[in-house]
Amino acid sequence: MIFRAFFTNSFGILVSRIFGFIRDLLTASVLGANIYSDMFFVAFKLPNLFRRIFAEGAFTQAFLPAFTKSRTKGIFALHIFIRFFIFIAFLTTLVVIFSPFITKIFAYGFSDEQILQTAPLVSINFFYLALIYIVTFIASLLQYRSHFATTAFSTALLNISMIVSLLLSKPSEPQNSVYYLSFGVIIGGFLQVLVHIYAIKKTRLLPLVFATVKYRKTHKQNDLERKTFYKNFFHSVLGGSTVQLSAFIDTWLASFLAAGSISYLYYANRIFQLPLALFAIALSIGIFPRITKLIKKNDENEAVKLLTKGFWFLTFLLSASALGGILLSEPIIKILFERGSFNAQDTIICAKVLSMYLIGLIPFGLSRMFSLWLFAQQRQKEAAIISAISLGIGIIFSFILVYPFGVIGLSLANSLGGFFLFILTIRAFGFRRFFSIIYSKKLLLLTALLVIEFFTLLIVKEVLQQLL
């Protein structure tokens, strides 16, 4: 059941990422790595920042355990949905009104003219946040029923919408193409909402949610459930925002570097996110509802067994991906992006940025899985403190490394912060419990397989260099 959920999530994410890479290929070809691509990525990064802080990250981590334990699920769910939607609508209004000021914060190195050009794009893209919040809320309910396919595949709709917008914009100048892309984001968000509404109706979840709305439980019980959720959500926001704040600081620092630096970070991070999403995120989504229910039943032994299976499966996949990506970083970038306005020099720099990102793939991926233990136990405050510490360390490294190494130093700093995140997460999980997991013959098998992969990839790299 768990691995079926993993493969469903993983395949759905793979389909979405394939369309995502097609989108990036077209973006690199149409816009290249210049000020116009930087403008769009700044505008697109803003709703994604809040989406991951408020919706996909903190919301799901706090909502699912609270919803599972709630005795009045309908009242609880509708209360949370309405309150958050009103907040997001208010936040969107502020962003639209003060878009030049907010753009200046996110791209401080931009000139005044560039700020004015980017501000309308920020306003358009930010409407995506409200749409994706609706998607995330419904997706959390679907996860409760172990339905993962709709959410896993729906992101492809966003990418397809953006691909169509890029194709339509091809005859236009780059300054017009970024508007096509921005409206493509909004259309993609609407499509995601529609398929999730269909899924919740098809899975007959609406009766589960609304069955308890008319049931009048004591207000004290409802208030206690909501207070617990809000407390955990607040801590999840603090914890979940660290990765996004790190990305914001990297973008801010990169805006002072040569034109195209923000784009190098974006393209390299897109590739880095592929194995992280395919394996770490897909597995985490698949096992989180199960771990939550086991913790609720006080069955920690079964929960540890589940994590053990996930650990070895994930460690092998992430290790193989990191090793392969580092050794083949330049051919990967060249094959994917080197066309149109994206030239050979762009490939060399972007490949180095990718290699530095991939150093942190294993610690980031494993940290995500083991943090599920904390979320299921509603230890969001502890997880937030861990994330804040790792963020602080990553920021320090960013300021230290950006001067001698430029944009490459920013991606390396990100990976160094990931190692501290992993160590602190394992400490919270329990070193003794963790060491009992890794003391296995599987460690020798993993090492042998990676050695074989290393020498195989050296041959593959040599062949690719000859062909390319």
pLDDT confidence bin for 144, thresholds 50/70/90: confident
For the ranges 37-46, 61-70, 313-322, 455-464, the lowest mean pLDDT is seen at: 455-464
pLDDT digits (tens, 9 = 90+) for 342-362: 788 888 899 999 999 999 999
Q: How many CA atoms lie within 13 A of 326 on its CB side?
A: 16
What are the boundaries of each domain within the chain? 2-467
Kindly tell me if the per-residue pLDDT of 448 is higher than 70.
yes
pLDDT digits (tens, 9 = 90+) for 106-135: 777 777 788 888 888 888 988 998 898 898
The DSSP secondary-structure symbol of 53 reads: I
* Residue 83 CA: distances (Å) to CA of 15, 43, 79, 89, 404: 33, 26, 6, 10, 47
pLDDT confidence bin for 101, thresholds 50/70/90: confident
SS3 state of residue 370: helix
**What percent of the chain lies above the pLDDT cut of 90?**
14
DSSP 140-169: HHHHHTT--HHHHHHHHHHHHHHHHHHHHH
Q: Do the beta carbons of residue 176 and residue 169 sit within 8 Å?
A: yes
pLDDT digits (tens, 9 = 90+) for 280-289: 888 887 787 7
